[in-house]
C-alpha cells in the first residue's frame, strides 16, 4: 500500500513537471496615447513560446514592443513596428513579460492584437497524450486534418486583421473627405469675400489722403 502510494506520488510529481500546457492567449486591446501596457505569463524552462502582434487601428499603425525574461534581460525589442512575430525558447523558468508602448504618440490611441502561444497544443482528452501504440490510419488522418484546419483558421485571422486595418483606413478617409470638403468650401467663401472687401477698402481709404495732400 505504501509503495503504491509512493509510486503514485512520484508519478504525480512527474506529471506536474511534464505539464507543458498550452496557454494560448489571443487578445485585442486598446492602447491609449502615451501609455504602456504589459502582460505577464509563467513559462517553464525549455518551452518554446511565440508572440505575434499587429496594430489594427490608430495613427501610423505602429507600436513599440519589448519582451523581458524573469531575470530582467530584454530578449526582444522593436520600435515602431506594424506587425511582427517572435519565437523564443525559454532558458529560465519564470514569469516572462511583454509590453506594448504607445509613449511616442501624442494623440493617437492604438488597437493592438497579440497572440501569445506557449508550448504545444494539449490533446483534447487528457489520456490521449501518452499513447503507447501508434495511431491508427483514421486517427492520423484526423490529426492531419486538424493541423490543416488550424492553418486555415490562422490565415483567416490574419486576413481578418488586415481587412480590419484597411477598413479602418477607408472609413477614416471617408470622414476626412467630408470634413475637408466642407472646410475648403467655407474657406473659399471667406477668402473671396475678404478679397473683395480688402480691395474695396484700398480704394476708399486713399481718396481722403489724396485730398488732404492736394489741399
Partner 1 sequence: MAGVVGRGLPAMGRPALLLLVMCAAGAQGLYFHIGETEKRCFIEEIPDETMVIGNYRTQMWDKQKEVFLPSTPGLGMHVEVKDPDGKVVLSRQYGSEGRFTFTSHTPGEHQICLHSNSTRMALFAGGKLRVHLDIQVGEHANNYPEIAAKDKLTELQLRARQLLDQVEQIQKEQDYQRYREERFRLTSESTNQRVLWWSIAQTVILILTGIWQMRHLKSFFEAKKLV
Site residues (vs partner 1, CB under 8 A)? 4-5, 7-8, 11-12, 15-16, 18-19, 21, 23-30, 37-42, 111, 116, 124-130, 136, 138-139, 142-143, 145-146, 149-150, 152-153, 156, 159-160, 163-164, 166-167, 170-171, 173-174, 177-178, 181, 184-185, 188-189, 192, 195-196, 199-200, 203
If the CB atoms of residues 37 and 50 are measured against partner 1, the closer one turns out to be 37
Residue 55, C-alpha cell as written in the block: 496594430
Which residues make Cβ contacts (< 8 Å) with residue 78, sequence separation at least 6?
Answer: 64, 65, 66, 84
If the CB atoms of residues 60 and 146 are measured against partner 1, the closer one turns out to be 146
If DSSP states are collapsed to H, E and C, what string results for 47-69? CEEEEEEEEEECCCCCEEEEEEC
Q: Which helix (H) or strand (E) holds 110?
A: strand 110-118
If the CB atoms of residues 77 and 159 are measured against partner 1, the closer one turns out to be 159
If the CB atoms of residues 56 and 62 are measured against partner 1, the closer one turns out to be 56
Residue 68 CB-half CA count within 13 A: 11
Amino acid at each position: 500500500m505504501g509503495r503504491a502510494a509512493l509510486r503514485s506520488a512520484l508519478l504525480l510529481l512527474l506529471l506536474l513537471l511534464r505539464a507543458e500546457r498550452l496557454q494560448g492567449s489571443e487578445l485585442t486591446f486598446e492602447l491609449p496615447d502615451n501609455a504602456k501596457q504589459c502582460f505577464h505569463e509563467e513559462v517553464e524552462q525549455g518551452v518554446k513560446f511565440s508572440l505575434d502582434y499587429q496594430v489594427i487601428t490608430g495613427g501610423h499603425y505602429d507600436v513599440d514592443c519589448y519582451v523581458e525574461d524573469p531575470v530582467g534581460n530584454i530578449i526582444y525589442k522593436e520600435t515602431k513596428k506594424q506587425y511582427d512575430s517572435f519565437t523564443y525558447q525559454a532558458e529560465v523558468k519564470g514569469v516572462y513579460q511583454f509590453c506594448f508602448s504607445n509613449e511616442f504618440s501624442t494623440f493617437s490611441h492604438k488597437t493592438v492584437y497579440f497572440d501569445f502561444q506557449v508550448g504545444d497544443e494539449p490533446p483534447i482528452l487528457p489520456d490521449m497524450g501518452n499513447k503507447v501504440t501508434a495511431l491508427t490510419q483514421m486517427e492520423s488522418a484526423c490529426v492531419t486534418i486538424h493541423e490543416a484546419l488550424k492553418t486555415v483558421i490562422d490565415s483567416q485571422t490574419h486576413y481578418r486583421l488586415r481587412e480590419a486595418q484597411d477598413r479602418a483606413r477607408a472609413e477614416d478617409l471617408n470622414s476626412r473627405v467630408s470634413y475637408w470638403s466642407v472646410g475648403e468650401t467655407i474657406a473659399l467663401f471667406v477668402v473671396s469675400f475678404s478679397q473683395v472687401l480688402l480691395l474695396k477698402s484700398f480704394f476708399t481709404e486713399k481718396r481722403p489722403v489724396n485730398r488732404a495732400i492736394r489741399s
